[in-house]
Amino acid sequence: MLRVLLTGFEPFNHAKLNPSEQLVLRIGKDDVPGAQIITKVLPVVYSEASKELLALVEEHKPDAVISFGQAEGRSPISVERFAVNLDDASIADNSGVTRVDQKIHSDSPTAYESTLPIKEFVTAIKAEGVAASISMSAGAFLCNHVFYELQNTFSGTNVVSGFVHVPLMNEQAEDFPGLPTMHLDQMVLAAKTMVAVLVARTSD
């Protein structure tokens, strides 16, 4: 049984919803045959998000970790390729902290690559009729922060990990006029499809 940890984020920057939160709340532990799924919603706080994530890793010892976050303005599911060693955002986290030009770890590499099978993910998600693409940048806010912490933690291990951005959900259209949205059901389907890809790879 493959143990997979899926995380999302709470709403931030005065928003009422976060699709990554709603996504992980919709997924049950037995929703994908061959996988035991653990889900958690992380705080949008620099000092707490990675601490909670790494505590989950220590507790559950997953074989794979996929973290999800919101990317307003993007229309497809965006499977991220690189995490960079930088916190540099114009908005504050939910505790009011803004970080500019600050390294996440002073003695770690400039960037890490996702160890998830990102091209297989995109192909499989598209096959389910959901828009998906590979993205080269997870930004430099909490999404990238958590992504970098994951890759740094699992560097040199057999645990596969990475980050996926999801679009705004349909229910956010009024708060983000003119920006693309996606039905939450499609995001959930994409997440389950990615877990199924990981299960299939362990069976080969």
Marked catalytic residue, from 52, 113, 143, 149: 143
Judge whether 165 counts as a catalytic residue: yes
Query: Environment class of residue 136 by beta-carbon count within 10 Å: exposed (0-12), middle (13-18) or buried (19+)?
Result: exposed
Marked catalytic residue, from 165, 171, 174, 183: 165
Which DSSP helix (H) or strand (E) runs through 66? strand 64-70
Judge whether 80 counts as a catalytic residue: yes
Judge whether 58 counts as a catalytic residue: no
Please name the amino acid found at residue 160: V
Marked catalytic residue, from 58, 60, 80, 128: 80
Sole residue written with tokens 């995380």: 7
Which DSSP helix (H) or strand (E) runs through 96? none
Q: 150: which 2 tokens?
A: 């994951």
Beta partners for 102?
87
Q: Which residues are annotated as catalytic? A: 80, 143, 165
